[in-house]
Structure 1
């Protein structure tokens, strides 16, 4: 049990309501709150984590539809004595977003920009507004929010206020506390009011009105007056002091600013309902200078010399971060080459009204630094696109350092300390020495060096009591170290549970007692996010991985990047929340459609981890005791319907495998779960229809006209869909009158050229054989001798996506055996359907590891190419580049995740095609997903958010490229476009006429 500064122990009652209370609480919330009220195990599992080391399942979750509904939820909780925790993006690294409480998630509905005054540069915003979305809405006024954390695409304004967020832009615009003008707040005991700066006249008016508000203001003034000397002398005078409450905002010289005093309070004092914030102009142009030094500490030494240039941002990083980013594909070799020589760098960003002005400021800095005593090796980059790509290398810090290859997993715990910028270099040396003393090194050091803030992740062992004991000793030593430097425990991420216990080291007991008084003014009964900042839980309680030792299950996939352990894969997510972004990239389409945490990659990963936590474990005779707040919420393992529900709307698009900073692969995890969940049980009808499509297509090939007539007749169509689990609003695809493989057999063999196997996937072969014919033309014109497998084969995709992994393995063994002679001769295999190609490149090797055919499967992985990759491998081209064609392309999600689209763009450019690659996200059909009953609304919603509008906006006559069968089907379903495969477009650009006319339309 945690101990406060005055030696009192926290009452265990603050850990939550009883089971009887929870039932009454749930009924009251459901009756009175306009919102979604969830006490189910799946929701509690998804919200049991943030981005920290801690695990605390909530009592329940409320997703209010309006701000007033959120306020009503707080009132209901107060009537029942239940703790309350407001949550935004859920990316906190100190544990402040998890608790045994009612979690109010504002991020789904309460997202409005209520008003904006461009002249005054102010806006009123609801707490759930995502920062990037808000800035997009403000962009028409050329305004933005000043602070910009690295989670800008997912964090919310309410969360930024709760954490006093900063980011790289805080160098120019300050912390969130500097942006807040007023807050509308609700206290636990029911006071709803606006607070802000308080003049003497305003204070007197409040007192004249009387009531609870007057009582709060009076208590705050007394606290300020009693503690004025302590506040002025014990608060570090540094730009990145985020730890502790902002009592300094109550000082007379700071305007007795009650709103700013509440910023950074981590939902421990009040509930924020609205915020009025100051805005800043968007810099019209930016430029970047990169300075290289012999090591990161030397880069830290140079910071004071850079600061007089007044940059927009001043970031630092070391060589280890750069190496990790390159090794994980977060930085390209070209980006690494752009960095100047050295092992430590400063990245300095400038703004200007013109590009020339921004560049001049960067050049001036470079010139001045070259005359400094510690002369850097430097690079000055002028191309804005390249600047942004290089900047993202630094932003990728957490993802790059979480799972360093060949090293233990890393964790937060001491990831955002801050010191005076003029002492940064020495602090970096001492911090690195402390890390090495505990045997944790080497670690990456990076951060917001212009404000003395240092980020790192350290390989703490948090799985047993010995490891957690070392963790505690390190953290206590580190706290004393940063305090000696006049610094702050937290320079960005807040205190929460990770650092609340350490505040007496930084501030002293007298200031901590002021914090306790401040808390009591607003929340005397400790019902607001208890156990954080004041009367804190111990930093080594409730650790997520302590006691997480379930027995390792037998799995179908091998999980090579997770030490061949599904338990590790299920715990891979570190909570960054990139999967919750609303635009750009592909991840996560179902979250974008529903706005549900449980439908994000992060939410699903957390549910899977809780499933594994609830399984029987092998922890020896003395398993570590879980923290007092920890709990197991999913206890039925692979048979869990809560997990099934969480995974049901996963499109298995596989985007998370490449877009998630730590490469969570939810498509694989879903297939694994379905295999176990349905083992020995009857499956959903679609698993037998769509899942066994290759078999039914083979039968249909004997009489395609009859099959099409049966599947599309007015009455039989509905019967077939109902029996097959297909949504009645979906049009079933029509079988071609002749399969590609049958056409190819009738063709005279070609005797010259380099051998290549053209893979006749189920979709191309049976539905769109003209694509394969076009590919034959392109390949033969390029000097290849095309071969097709001698027997009907399959990659197993449909069985993998439906979790029928035993069947998929048998299918792959047959495929490997049939292709083995060609594979052993080194013959490349060309795939036309991206999802099938991705199976060979990724799923098959991981599914068949240890199998007798493993070597041939690896050869298949290494020798499989897309059509574009094969053509791109040979610079000599048959195209003269004079086509002068403009096209748009929708890359298939599996291609985006596994193969990439760069080769396609290069080949098209050589052919004279100016291609615009859409950044519109998943098409929403995703193989069997969009056909299955119960998925149509989400499938259509995903398409309407990106692909369909983008295609509709395309100029008439512009070719729309979509190599994926699903993509083409979905685009045709929602637009007038008739998308084409790359092979078709290239075939049309060949200099010779087509000797094989297109086939007749499908019957």
Structure 2
């Protein structure tokens, strides 16, 4: 019986012997079934070791059972090397230690799971950093970078990973373990004298090197970005018989890396960016050789097609305006110890004379924005509305920079021949200073003919690159995408040497089998493919208009880039709060998307067999806060909050009795609040919080108190005021403002009237349906929202604006409503005519002068505002009011509407708040205002801030200024 037939015994042995988390459940296997590539292979199980030694023990257990092993870092590989039917060892949760730093020697020792950005932040105080920086630097691990021989834009200055590794501690499948690096003849002799397994390996490596040295020198491309194949050239005498260098880029097919000693470079504190515009991308490539003598630290090429794709997806709008004229651009970055030095280097390029339109940027903010344009390339080109989806495959080929222009012209000819070229794509971009080209191609991976064309294109493209002396991979590795093609680049002798190398380290082919050596065909194990036949649901609650009405295509948006696996506490990204505090793949947006994809099946080896009834998917979605951060932060615009609501609606269909009581209590909160208000029961309910918690089945935390008087009651007593010179606006009395925090609404009425508007409110109870959406009671939400749209139709058809105060409810009108009613014109009017308070005062009130406030403020931006409306208008208004506001990079506050009140969520809710929000509040001065427009955010601050601070709405802050000015 094979291990694949008896996984239970393997799992039991791993649990018995390994200090770590052992996951052989269907949900975990589904979450790890693919990476960022076209391929899918369901693992045997997943091991999350707590220490490198525990990881080594996991390999020992696998060896006892003859099970294959795959080491995985961030899981963002684009060539399929991180998907296999194997025991997957995920280092990224626990093995994240920076073990030591040698400042004088400029080295450090790390464990394989440490994330690059985390490492570089820890090295900042020493004035050092690790040089290679892929676009995934915010979530890629050093172990993964070593496995793929990663590069990034900074490789122009620092080289590839292979150029920046001093030593590796490695483990062979047979248990042999040692540190390795460059080896002098004396060191080699000492190793050989020991007569141990390491000596035998070194002896075989030297024999291999001697046998193939001439062929290695002849066949290995002499270019900056040769990543394809094993690094046999590292064994040559001129490279110091560097065994660590040999193993870099081996994609977990030879050894398991337990630790690494890295070579560091000094931080260049100052930078300057020159952007050059050209008539086309090939002309930009032609200009590269003349720029290289100026020694830029980065030299990137960007196609106007990429720029257009980013404009369509509203990415980096400020940065795009900084580009010069042209249809292609070179971003040339210079560095120095001082700003003058960096600027002087940049001016040296400009004085050299170039036939290009030039922009010289000295502003670091604008430079960073433009750099984000380049780093967003993968996501920007993956899913663009109205166009075929694009895929990896030929996404990182490389040639000598001198031949780059020729290569791009011939590559576009190949695109045209295969029908892939159009006015809209594919976009070409990449690390042009080193001849590396990135692109995603509209392969048809759904039909037999399309897959056959994909194979023919890959073969032709491989022949083209080989003819130009290039490398199939210039950054991402071979994996399964290009492993089969390696003979076309290296010839039969070198490929035979690869096989001999594999036999030295892994004679039984247990390390990531089917990659690089004896690879699976490039059209096997496809994640899609002509045989993929998912169960496409027909009775969807949401319309998914951006995905052709298809839930399968919606969840297939995830391309695995892993931006949701955020480890930073800065960077302005909201998604994915539950991953940030758990470090669990299944609690990332990517992990959840993978489970939903697997839930639909269509592969014939389904791990999740119960469809909408899947408990594994429900468990993964349980810790989704529905913050909607992924809707904006994910490069592919995955909208997990909507997917969660869709899933829960089906999961409980026909069995509402299975729902948690909190779903009913919190989902029907608007009705309860209306009853409490009508019967004046607020004081009674407020005095019985324990009973309310028990009846509602919610977490043991303070409940928000019902207000003595609702906003609508107050407004009926008070009535509208002011001359209404600007016209009439409808202030939306959401449940939270109306029933719990009416003081926010009262302040808003004052501010809006001061701006010259006549305020009206709906006369009776109204609701947007948010609480039913967030608890997956979507049919009820549709009925509630439909009634609201009919109620507002007259006002909307007259062109009237609707002002939202609660960001989550405003986001329903601006986002969810159209998803629920994609063909309804009144819903479209509602989306277009709903504004935030800040938008009303800045975009629709010309000449408005806010009250002058000389205060400092911390702004906790609600997740839904970040994702749907944005915060630009608020920042503009605050500046005009004299408020010095710090936009907190805190992400979600952790309460997230119903989430933080549901049982089992309190620990995660509090942990989210403790990441950034609460520590920043504790550090702020007492006079600093805390801006929090979201009811959830204000509630979380009220309940968890030990200093007793209270969050205030923008309307309240402005109202204070009105009173102080006597307006």
Q: Which TM class, normalised by the smaller chain length?
A: over 0.9
Question: Which secondary structure state, in structure 1, belongs to the residue aligned with residue 600 of structure 2?
Answer: helix
Contact 1:95 1:497 in 2 (8 A): yes
Cα shift at 1:550: 2.1
Task: Specify which of 506, 530, 538 is matched with residue 521 of structure 2.
Answer: 538
Aligned residue for 2:924?
A: 954
Paired with 1:953 and 1:966, the residues of 2 have a C-alpha distance of 22
Distance in 1 of aligned mates of 2:363 and 2:406: 34
Q: 1:423, 1:207 → 2: CA distance?
A: 44
Cα distance in structure 2, aligned partners of 1:157 and 1:814: 54
Q: Which residue of 1 aligns with 2:32?
A: 47
Q: Which residue of 2 aligns with 1:24?
A: 9
Q: Give the CA deviation at 1:819.
A: 1.2
Matched with 2:508 is 525
Query: By how many angstroms is 1:702 displaced?
Result: 3.5
Q: Determine the C-alpha separation between the residues in 1 that align with 2:15 and 2:853.
A: 63
Cα–Cα, structure 1 residues 75 and 739, in superposed 2: closer, same or farther, change >3 Å?
A: same
CA contact (8 A) 1:781 1:878 kept: no
Q: Describe the superposition over 1:368-426 as per-residue Cα deviations: whole angstroms up to 9, x where unpaired.
A: 033xxxx1111111111101101111111101110133221000000000001100000
Which residue of structure 1 lines up, in the alignment, with residue 668 of structure 2? Answer: 692
Indicate the residue corresponding to 2:358 in structure 1: 378
- The answer to whether structure 1 residue 924 and structure 2 residue 894 are counterparts is yes
| Aligned CA distance change for structure 1 residues 359 and 875 (closer, same or farther; 3 Å) | farther
Change over 3 Å in CA distance of 1:248–1:889 after alignment to 2: same
Contact 2:712 2:763 in 1 (8 A): no
**Contact kept? 1:288, 1:347, Cα under 8 Å:** yes
- CA shift at 1:356, angstroms? 1.3
1:338 & 1:657 partners in 2: Cα distance? 25
Whether the 8 Å CA contact 1:782–1:877 is kept in 2: the answer is: no
Separation in 2, partners of 1:528, 1:204: 29
Q: Which residue of 2 aligns with 1:3?
A: none
- 1:18, CA displacement in angstroms? 2.6
1:656 to 599, 613, 630: 630
- When normalised by structure 2's length, the TM-score is 0.97
Matches within 5 A, 1:887-898: 887-898=857-868
Superposition deviation, residue 915 in structure 1: 1.1
1:548 Cα deviation from its structure 2 partner = 2.6
Counterpart in the other structure of 2:745: 772
Residue in 2 aligned with 1:440? Answer: 420
2:716 equivalent to 1:745:
yes
In structure 2, what is the equivalent of residue 672 of structure 1? 646
- The answer to whether the 8 A contact 2:148-2:251 is kept is yes
Distance 2:953 2:852 in 1: 20
- Could you tell me how far apart the structure 1 residues matched to 2:667 and 2:913 are? 23
Q: 2:274 touches 2:359 (CA, 8 Å); kept in 1?
A: yes
SS at match of 1:265: coil
Mapped pair 1:972 → 2:963: no
Question: Aligned partners of 1:493, 1:556: CA distance in 2, in Å?
Answer: 39
Distance 2:389 2:839 in 1: 34
- The aligned residue for residue 612 of structure 1 is 600
Which residue number corresponds to residue 150 of structure 1? 135
Paired position in structure 1 for 2:735: 762
Matching of residues 469-480 of structure 1 within 5 Å = 469-480=452-463
Decide which of 776, 782, 787 is 2:760's aligned counterpart.
787
Partner-residue secondary structure (3-state), 1:418: coil
Structure 2 partner of 1:351: 335
Classify the secondary structure of the residue corresponding to 2:957. helix
The Cα RMSD (Å) is 1.4
* Alignment-derived partner of residue 796 in structure 2: 823
Alpha-carbon separation, structure 2, partners of 1:473 and 1:876: 59
Structure 1 residue 708: Cα displacement:
4.3
5 Å matches for 1:897-916? Answer: 897-916=867-886
Aligned match for 1:490, one of 455, 473, 478: 473
- Cα distance between partner residues in 2 of 1:777 and 1:511: 78
Contact 2:10 2:65 in 1 (8 A): yes
- Name the TM-score, length of structure 1 as normaliser: 0.94
- Between the aligned partners of 1:643 and 1:580, the Cα distance in structure 2 is 19
> Contact 2:227 / 2:249 at 8 angstroms: preserved in 1?
yes
Q: 1:815 Cα deviation (Å)? A: 0.6
Q: CA shift at 1:712, angstroms?
A: 4.1
State the SS of the aligned residue for 1:803: coil
Deviation of 1:813 (Å): 1.4
Match of 1:240 among 222, 225, 230: 225
1:656 deviation in Å? 0.2
Q: How does 1:284-323 map to 2 (within 5 A)?
A: 284-323=269-308
Q: In the alignment, which residue of structure 1 is the partner of 2:613?
A: 639
Deviation at 1:560, TM superposition (A): 1.1
Q: 1:881 touches 1:911 (CA, 8 Å); kept in 2?
A: yes
Name the counterpart of 2:933: 963
C-alpha distance in structure 2 between counterparts of 1:746 and 1:189, whole Å: 82
The one of 380, 391, 399 equivalent to 2:371 is: 391
Q: CA deviation at 1:883?
A: 2.5
Q: List per-residue Cα deviations over 1:769-804 (Å, max 9, x = no partner).
A: 011000000011111110001221000000000010
How many residue pairs were aligned?
Answer: 953
**SS of the residue 1:497 aligns to:** coil
In 2: Cα distance, 1:903 partner to 1:644 partner: 37
1:722 to 694, 700, 714: 694
| 1:710 CA displacement | 4.0
Q: Quick one: structure 1 residues 685 and 435, their matched pair in 2 at CA, closer, same or farther if it must change by over 3 Å?
A: same
Residue in structure 2 matched with residue 985 of structure 1 by the alignment:
957
Q: Which residue of structure 2 lines up, in the alignment, with residue 845 of structure 1? A: 818
Tell me what 1:38 maps to.
Answer: 23
Q: Is the CA contact (8 Å cut-off) linking 2:851 and 2:961 kept in structure 1?
A: no
Give structure 2 stretches of 5+ with no counterpart: none
* Cα offsets for 1:100-139 (capped at 9, x unmatched): 0000000000000000011110000000000000000000
What is the CA distance between 1:872 and its match in structure 2? Answer: 0.7
Distance 1:323 1:167 in 2: 23
3-state SS in 1 of match to 2:470: coil
* Separation (CA, whole Å) in 2 of partners of 1:120 and 1:558: 59
Taking the aligned partners of 1:525 and 1:92, their CA distance within structure 2 comes to 24
- Tell me whether 55-64 or 911-920 shows the greater mean CA deviation: 911-920
How far apart in 1 are the matches of 2:472 and 2:634?
Answer: 29
Checking the alignment, whether the CA contact within 8 Å between 1:447 and 1:454 is kept in structure 2 is yes
| Alignment partner, residue 124 of structure 2 | 139
User: Partners of 1:855 and 1:876 in 2: how far apart?
Assistant: 28
1:29·1:37 contact (CA, 8 Å) conserved in 2? Answer: yes
Question: Match of 1:317, SS?
Answer: strand
**Structure 1 spans left out of the alignment, 5+ residues:** 1-12, 615-625, 996-1003
Cα shift at 1:720: 3.0
User: Hey, what does 1:504 align to over in structure 2?
Assistant: 487
Are the structure 2 counterparts of residues 882 and 758 from structure 1 closer, same or farther at C-alpha, using a change threshold of 3 Å? closer
1:940 correspondence with 2:940: no
State the distance in 2 between where 1:849 and 1:478 align: 42
> How far apart are residue 703 of structure 1 and its match?
4.6
Aligned to 2:150: 165
CA contact (8 A) 2:706 2:740 kept: yes
Indicate yes or no: 2:354 matched with 1:366.
no
Distance, in Å, in 2 between the alignment partners of 1:676 and 1:488 is 48
Question: CA deviation digits over 1:257-281, x for unaligned, max 9?
Answer: 1011000000000000000010001
Matched residues in 2 for 1:983 and 1:718: separation?
A: 33
Which segment is superposed worse, 856-865 or 102-111? Answer: 856-865
SS of equivalent to 1:314? strand
2:831 aligns with 861
> Which SS does the other structure have where 1:316 is aligned?
strand
SS at match of 1:346: strand
1:6 corresponding residue in structure 2: none
Measure, in 1, the Cα distance between the counterparts of 2:760 and 2:852. 30
**1:551 Cα deviation (Å)?**
3.8
Mapped contact 2:593–2:640 kept (Cα < 8 A) = yes
CA distance in 2, matches of 1:101, 1:712: 57
Equivalent in the alignment of 1:593 = 581
